[in-house]
Amino acid sequence: MQIDISGRIDGTAEVHRMVALLLEHGGVAIDDYTPHPWTLPEIVSGTVIDGLRFFHFRGYHERIRGHGRPDSLTPPAQVHRSKRVRGCHQLGGHS
C-alpha cells in the first residue's frame, strides 16, 4: 500500500494514527526519509534512526539544507512536492 500526503499541511499526527491502525497486527512502514522499515513500537516511541524519527520530514529537510544530501538518504525527487509513506506491510500476511 502506498499513501501520498500533501506537502501543504503537516499531517504528522494523522499519519501516525493511520499507520497505527494499519500496523496494529504487525508489519512495517517505510517513509521517504530513511531506508529503515519502521515497526509500530518504533513509530509510537519516537525512535531515532540515522538522526530521524518516522515521517520526520522537517528534520530531513533541515539536514539536506544545512549539509547537502547525505548518501544514506536518497528519497525520490517528488519528496519536495509531497510527503509520502511508501508502504505498510504486514509480516507474513497480505500487504
Query: What mean pLDDT value characterizes the chain?
Result: 77
pLDDT value at 90 more than 60: no
Give the pLDDT of residue 53.
Answer: 94
Question: Checking phi first, is residue 27 left (phi over 0); if not, alpha (psi -120 to 50) or beta?
Answer: left
* E-only strand ranges, the chain: 3-6, 28-31, 82-89
| Grid coordinates of 41 | 513500537
**Tens digit of each residue's pLDDT (9 = 90 or more) over 18-59:** 999 999 999 999 998 889 999 999 999 999 998 999 999 888
As a whole number of angstroms, the distance between CA 91 and CA 95 comes to 8
DSSP 8-25: SS--HHHHHHHHHHHTTT
Give the pLDDT of residue 63.
Answer: 86
